[in-house]
Structure 1
Amino acid sequence: MIGVIATMKVKPDQTAPFEAAMRELVAATRANEPGVTTYHFCRSQKEPTTYVVMEMYADQATLDSHMASEWFRNAGPKLMPCLAERPVLEKFDPLEP
Structure 2
Amino acid sequence: MPTTLWRLKVAPEKQNTFERLTTQLVQDVALNEPGSIFEYRRGIEDPLTYFLFLSFDDENAFQRYSTADYHIGASGQIIDCLAEPPIGDNLERF
Alignment of 1:78-89 (within 5 A): 78-89=77-88
Looking at structure 1, the residues matched to 89 and 63 of structure 2 have their Cα atoms a distance apart, in angstroms, of 15
Q: Which runs of 5+ in 1 are unaligned?
A: none
3-state SS of paired residue (1:82): coil
The AA in structure 1 aligned to 2:62 is L
TM-score by length of 2: 0.90
The AA in structure 1 aligned to 2:68 is S
The AA in structure 2 aligned to 1:25 is L
3-state SS of paired residue (2:80): helix
Percent identity for Structure 1 against Structure 2: 24
Name whichever structure is richer in strand by fraction: 1
Cα contact 1:3–1:94 (8 A) shared by 2:
no
Task: Show the counterpart of 2:67.
Answer: 68
Task: Show the counterpart of 2:6.
Answer: 6
Displacement over 3 Å in runs of 4+ = none
Q: Once structures 1 and 2 are overlaid, which stretch shifts more, 4-13 or 54-63?
A: 54-63
Q: Once structures 1 and 2 are overlaid, which stretch shifts more, 49-58 or 76-85?
A: 76-85
3-state SS of paired residue (1:86): coil
How many residue pairs match? The answer is 94
Task: Show the counterpart of 1:90.
Answer: 89
Q: Which runs of 5+ in 2 are unaligned?
A: none
